[in-house]
Amino acid sequence: MTAYAEFHRRSIQDRDGFWAEQAQLVDWKSAPTQVCDYSNPPFAKWFVGGTTNLCHNAVDRHLKDRAGQAALIAVSTETNTERVYTFAGLHAEVQRMAAVLKDLGVQKGDRVLIYMPMIAEAAFAMLACARIGAIHSVVFGGFASGSLASRIEDSEPKVIVSADAGSRGGKVVEYKPLLDEAISLSSHKPGAVLLADRKLAAMNIVAGRDHLWGALREKHLNTVVPCEWVESTHPSYTLYTSGTTGKPKGVQRDTGGYAVALAASMKHIYCGNAGETYFSTSDIGWVVGHSYIIYGPLIAGMATIMYEGLPTRPDGGIWWSLVEKYKVTVMFSAPTAVRVLKKQDPALLTKYDLSSLRALFLAGEPLDEPTAQWISGSLKKPIIDNYWQTETGWPILGIANGVEQKASKFGSPGVPMYGYNVMLMDDAGEELVGGDKKGVVMVEGPLPPGCMQTVWRDDDRFVKTYWQKLNGKYVYSTFDWGVRDADGYYFILGRTDDVINVAGHRLGTREIEEAISSHPNISEVAVVGVADNLKGQVAVAFAVVKDASVLVDDAAHAKLEAEVMKVVDNTIGAVGRPARVRFVAVLPKTRSGKLLRRAIQAVCEGRDPGDLTTMEDPAALQQIKDLTAA
């Protein structure tokens, strides 16, 4: 047995012994008395009896050895600023933020919603919440008021931390009006709103509710706020993610399990060492941002780069220039970003000294072979694909080079990571044995430390959505199709549900459909994900118009299409905007009225739509075919 195979075997067969060792990688105020309590499956409680704090592990514990070393490097090519915070500096800012949040009434267990651009204050806010035992809920800054409102409604934050604006490609994106609208749409109202004023846009301050971070910070320049020691199982955060229904789920994460999982992954998977620099190009609004911009690198004692801006501005060499300047050793990005960079001048890749970089990790969406080949050939560094989800918080499939150097295979994110007992299940709910068979990727419970504890305030939904019984045991569904080859490498073939992946951003087609349906002239709509060379997938909508008489000519079509896109922009945000909205007379459905999304998707991608014997009206699909071919 190879070293990694043995490592993985032990993580499953001697689960508690294995994770007790990993738990040594973090600080505990009081040591756990039980490694894993799985007495109430599928709920797993990790490191029961232990008390710890995420902020202590990410910041305070490094003060002893590296107070003066860089911890947070906030770079914005939008405002042309670079701010470097040492561990001591970060410690001071986080305490100031924690003191302000406390002044605003935040206590242990309260939720704080963070709706911010990629600025250092967002990191202060996350770490400050962790410090005082508050539960943060970061909402991606690209989401508009409708998506934000549903998250405010569900998480019921005591305080919302936000900013006047973000900026993208030189264009100011105002956050405050969207936030005000979201608060007015939500039946829950926060007690206070804390605003970072970047002076990018004027803000309409609501007296009594809105406060400026700059002014409140001044009052707490020297305030000491100790870490609140919390139970290992105390929720550290919720992060909303899309599924089959229109209502996003609040993925709830614990504290101790998450700290251990991240510390272990930094050692075994990312091979990042204290004193080095980690650069993840994601956004704090996504799970990668939580695990590998903020917590993972800091827990490992690394400096982390937070980047606001495009990968192509001022030119396509900007990320590589940061690798050179900050001697980045580990970099993490997404295939879409690499496809964008591939279109830039190849000379930009050789212009900078990239000798510090050991590996580039890519995740969030399938890594196609041409993209993998190009970046691997150009960078001449190992390119390592990771497969994971918001729900898991760290990789399910990957390559753990910290345990044993293992070759990657193009098109495969690798093998099951330690702690994950991965299997494939067929349509009949049976485990698939042997290689090269397609099934749903499942993980036998308990999920390892760091994975979701439950759906926020909805244990029932957690069990019903994700879990089923296989041979009497609970198994977790990833909702992804996969194939395993004879060497045990997995290949991911796409979602089994109505989730699509646009440029690494996970979106529920139902959410987009709900937004489109709110247009007064749309009676029905189907949104599908269609393969795209740059973004992996794009959303395409097929809508039935209530009053088709308005569609007199091409200009009228274009006008309505633009109107529908605007509705999506205003509700979800541009991230959910379909690439096209096509108007059809009727949608293809089965005789029992079920929408034939897979058939629509197949037709859009020029594939065979499969068995259509149950289809009500074949002309419906034909119209879509004609429109797509046109």
Helices (H) and strands (E) in the chain, counts: 20, 33
Site map for ligand AMP, 526-565, x if CB under 6 A? ----------------------------------------
Binding-site member from 385, 444, 511, 513 for ligand AMP (CB under 6 A): 385
- Does 284 interact with ligand AMP (rule: CB under 6 A)? no
Binding of ligand AMP by 243 (CB under 6 A): no
Angle between helix 256-268 and helix 15-22 axes, rounded to 10 deg: 80
In angstroms, how far is CA 193 from the centroid of its own chain?
A: 24
Q: How far is the CB of 363 from ligand AMP (least distance, A)?
A: 5
| DSSP conformational letter for 490 | E
Residue found under tokens 């302000």: 100
User: Given the rule CB under 6 A, which of 87-95, 184-192, 383-391, 581-589 is the region that contacts ligand AMP?
Assistant: 383-391
CA angle 328, 173, 151 (to 5 degrees): 85
Tell me the closest approach of the beta carbon of residue 493 to ligand AMP, in angstroms.
9
- Name which position in 182, 338, 363, 530 contacts ligand AMP (CB under 6 A): 363
Q: Tell me the DSSP string of 76-124.
A: ETTTTEEEEEEHHHHHHHHHHHHHHHHHTT--TT-EEEE---SSHHHHH
Find the part of the chain contacting ligand AMP (CB under 6 A) among 261-269, 388-396, 428-436, 602-610: 388-396
User: How is residue 76 written in tokens?
Assistant: 């914005």
By CB under 6 A, residue 241 contacts ligand AMP: yes
Q: What's the CA gap between 473 and 30, in Å, rounded?
A: 32
Of the candidates 517, 558, 515, 512, the one whose C-alpha atom is nearest the C-alpha of residue 537 is 512
Q: Which of 501, 509, 537, 571 binds ligand AMP (CB under 6 A)?
A: 501
The residue within the footprint of ligand AMP, chosen from 138, 442, 492, 581 (CB under 6 A), is: 492
Determine the size of the site formed for ligand AMP (CB under 6 A): 20
Instruction: State which residue, 124 or 332, has the beta carbon closest to ligand AMP.
Output: 332
Closest by CA position to 499, among listed 326, 351, 365: 365
Residues 416, 619: Cα–Cα separation, whole Å: 45
In the complex, the smallest distance separating the C-beta of residue 578 from ligand AMP, rounded to whole angstroms, is 19
What minimum distance in Å lies between the beta carbon of 466 and ligand AMP? 12
Residue 290's SS3 state is helix
Residues 46, 387, 456, 490: which binds ligand AMP (CB under 6 A)? 387
Among 45, 66, 234, 506, binds ligand AMP (CB under 6 A): 506
Taking contact as CB under 6 A, which single stretch among the options 87-95, 252-260, 358-366, 590-598 is the one that binds ligand AMP? 358-366
> Which of 393, 588 has the CB closer to ligand AMP?
393
Question: Letter for the amino acid at 474?
Answer: Y
Binding to ligand AMP in span 426-485, by CB under 6 A:
478, 480
For 379, the enclosing helix (H) or strand (E) is helix 369-379
Q: Which residues pair with 384 in a beta bridge?
A: 361
Cβ nearer to ligand AMP, comparing 311 with 366: 366
Q: Which two tokens stand for residue 110?
A: 């309260």
CA distance 375 to 369: 10
Identified binder of ligand AMP from the candidate list 304, 386, 509, 623, rule CB under 6 A = 386
Report cis status (omega within 30 of 0) of the bond before 446: yes
Q: Which two tokens stand for residue 478?
A: 């990833």
* Selected binder of ligand AMP within 93, 180, 365, 514 (CB under 6 A): 365
CB of 243 to ligand AMP, least distance (A): 10
- Interface positions with ligand AMP (CB under 6 A): 241, 287, 363-367, 385-390, 413, 478, 480, 492, 495, 501, 506
